[in-house]
Structure 1
Amino acid sequence: MNAERTDGRTRIAVITGAGSGVGRAVTRELLRAGWSVALAGRRAETLEETAAPAAWEAGGVNAGSPRGEALVVPTDVSQPRDVDALFAATVGRFGRVDLLFNNAGTFGPGGVPVEELPYEAWRHVVDTNLNGAFLCAQAAYRLMKEQDPRGGRIINNGSVSAHTPRPLSVAYTATKHALTGLTKSLSLDGRPYRIAVGQIDIGNAATDMTRRMGTGALQANGETAPEPVMDVADVARTVRHMAELPLEANMQFATVLATTMPYIGRG
């Protein structure tokens, strides 16, 4: 598998939440593989750090290997105008979109009981995790249906919380469960247009968001215990594998997690 489509042209990806964590790792993995990538996120400076050649080429680009091109587009995915501008900028630079990795997300305030969660906090998580994913998928659909050759792929970043919640995580868990429904519906509706849609559910990849796992995370029995994490690069390689499948094949759901994290049997 490689970054070229069957017509020999470089593949083009849009990655949201590309300024840190999983989004940063996937962006750099695809750039090293020769993809061209539009990086979306709220902060231009972190996107520029992700896109800096010195950062991603250090990961193993060999002499003579294809080098991807990065386009930084500061974007708030919860805002329709920002999303429209993101895809317009991508098409303006690269001409098409072959992959959307719907990765932008927020956990929201941790450790807050349901009855004390401010509506504004709930709404922020829903706007980012769910509405943002819908808006980006909608924009990608519009392009993928009309571009030549037709079609493309969308990969949604779910979570093991799309299956089983952590304590005191109602907003995050609700949006991740909703993403599974979004993935299934998009996958079905995309069939006539060669749009393949799948979801990756990640458990405890080592990022800033999971740094607290090493010192202690609240468990279902009320105890706090440290949890193992895995290298985020293993997630990035899985996303790349999903992304480079031919459109005739789709990995509908993939779960990648730290082997001994308390997920199977959680609770």
Structure 2
Amino acid sequence: MTETQARVALITGASSGIGAETAKRFAENGTAVVLGARSVDALEATAEECRDCGVAAAAVQTDVTDPDAVAALVEAAVERFGRLDVAVVNAGIGEVRDVPLSELPREQFEAVTETNVHGAFYTARAALPHLRERDGAIVFVGSSKGKYPSTSTPVYAASKWWVRGFAASVAGRAGPDGVAVTVVNPTGVPTEFGSAFRETTNAQNLDPEATVSAADVADGIVYAADQEGATAVAELDLYRRDIHERF
């Protein structure tokens, strides 16, 4: 038996940071959420916060580098709720900063590429057939580094350039079918991003008073997903005010 719900959103990388904030924003707006991430305990904690808003929330342990796991995540959403209205492609990691390419461990290149590139592809591929049925929305979390060069993290930057190109191309195919496709590009956000390979995270490195917050990005994602009619926000840049100073 499927569970009746007004709207259903799926979010990858939902155990912390932007993904968790996005899940809570959707829940506050009355949208049921299906959350995917590798960290089970943190994922369930986010789901419980969403349930406290009065909506249904499902936590599904998911490694986005595994296409079968991503397919199972999407199928879990459809089996439980009978629909999928929004997919947020958020899961991502970055390599160690300022390492010469000749010294960057290959496993970091592969991990960043498999998570940010392959994971985005697997999520879009699994979700789009269901989004087409609902005239739904797919939101990719990009980065300012996907629009400008990054000498400190070239692999991460390249993965986000790919995400932007992929999203625009997906829009060319899915847009005529009624699916809104958006890329949201934040600058650095003070979250636990960086924990995979770096000694310090963004939360430790960035001043929360001078940067874009995870809540700001979540608001942008929900705004993009809420567009109705024939229009869609193709790309939304959320930059700290001094971003262009470095150029």
Pairing partner for 1:44 from 40, 43, 46: 40
Equivalence for 2:150: 166
CA distance in 2, matches of 1:14, 1:247: 21
Is 1:207 aligned to residue 191 of structure 2?
Answer: yes
String of CA shifts for 1:75-94, please: whole Å, max 9, x gaps. Answer: 01111110111011000111
1:230 Cα deviation from its structure 2 partner: 2.9
Equivalence for 2:64: 77
CA distance in 2, matches of 1:85, 1:190: 22
- Structure 2 stretches of 5 or more lacking a match? 194-201
String of CA shifts for 1:234-267, please: whole Å, max 9, x gaps. Answer: 221111111111152200000112223xx21434
Equivalences for 1:1-267 in 2 at 5 Å?
10-53=6-49, 57=52, 67-145=54-132, 147=133, 150-209=134-193, 210-214=202-206, 228-260=210-242, 263-267=243-247
CA distance in 2, matches of 1:124, 1:247: 38
The 8 Å contact of residues 15 and 23 in structure 1, kept in 2 or not, is answered as yes
Q: CA RMSD in A?
A: 2.1
Equivalence for 2:197: none
String of CA shifts for 1:163-207, please: whole Å, max 9, x gaps. Answer: 123333111011000111001000010123211111000012231
Letter of the structure 2 residue corresponding to residue 186 of structure 1? V
Q: Secondary structure at the match of 2:129?
A: helix
1:56 Cα deviation from its structure 2 partner: 7.5
CA distance in 2, matches of 1:16, 1:197: 16
Q: Secondary structure at the match of 1:101?
A: strand
- Structure 2 CA distance for partners of 1:213 and 1:135, relative to 1, 3 Å: same
- Relative to the length of structure 2, the TM-score reads 0.89
- Relative to the length of structure 1, the TM-score reads 0.82
CA distance in 2, matches of 1:68, 1:24: 15
- Structure 2 CA distance for partners of 1:168 and 1:205, relative to 1, 3 Å: closer
- Which structure's CA Rg is the greater one? 1
Equivalence for 1:219: none
- How many residue pairs get matched? 236
CA distance in 2, matches of 1:179, 1:142: 19
